[in-house]
Amino acid sequence: MAAFEADLASDSPVVDELADADDDLAEARNELASAKEDLARSRADLYNLQQDYNSYVRRAKADVAVQRQVGQVAVLEAMLSVLDDIEGARAAGELEGPFAAIADKLEDTLASRFELTRYGAVGDEFNPEIHEALMAQTNPERDHPVIGQVLQPGYKAGDKVLRPTKVMVENPE
């Protein structure tokens, strides 16, 4: 047995092969550890990418609703002068025939689909948040400011004021 141990201790090809196998095993272990680390990094990157994408989708869905409302408000604001002309023609008695039916349908559609309402009438209480006072006069019959004359009607879409009513205010003395 001593001779066998002596043979192992000497430089033999078997010992060299075992040493090489140990080196290969250590190298394989290092490569495996590196591959595990790369896999963990890749998984973390994928997780972060998925979270970024999910956040983007949520923001995009929220932005769609906001942009739609902004677009609707822009169209409604562009229609205000047309509605003023329709109301002027109605007040002058010139709104008749097929055009009257079209005007009524337009106003009904804007009211039902977009909650567009005209507001501000003579006798209403003056509210500086939704009315714009262009003139004022005193009236001894008044105990608080009220609308004495509507110079240009105001419009709301739901609760949002698109244009304040331009008025002459009657103030108490």
Cα separation of 158 and 149, whole Å?
Answer: 24
Q: Is residue 97 part of a domain?
A: no
Q: Are the CB atoms for 83 and 155 separated by under 8 Å?
A: yes
Q: Is residue 169 part of a domain?
A: yes
Q: What is the pTM of this model?
A: 0.64
pLDDT tens for the chain, 173 residues long, are 555 555 555 556 777 788 788 888 899 999 999 999 999 999 999 999 999 999 999 999 999 989 999 999 999 999 999 999 999 999 999 989 999 999 999 999 999 999 999 999 999 999 999 999 999 999 888 899 999 999 999 999 988 999 999 999 999 88
Token readout for 141 is 């019959």
- Supply the range of the domain harboring residue 149: 116-173
Q: Is residue 110 part of a domain?
A: no
Q: Is residue 40 part of a domain?
A: no
Q: Is residue 160 part of a domain?
A: yes
Domain count, the chain: 1
Sign of the CA dihedral with 132 first, then 136, 142, and 147 last? negative
Q: Is residue 165 part of a domain?
A: yes
Q: Is 172 left (phi over 0), alpha (psi -120 to 50) or beta?
A: beta
Q: What is the 3-state secondary structure (H, E, C) of the chain?
A: CHHHHHHHHCCCHHHHHHHHHHHHHHHHHHHHHHHHHHHHHHHHHHHHHHHHHHHHHHHHHHHHHHHHHHHHHHHHHHHHHHHHHHHHHHHCCCCCCHHHHHHHHHHHHHHHHHCEEEECCCCCECCCCCEEEEEEEECCCCCCCEEEEEEECEEEECCEEEECEEEEEEECC
Q: Is residue 137 part of a domain?
A: yes
Q: Is residue 144 part of a domain?
A: yes
The CATH number of the domain holding residue 138 is 2.30.22.10
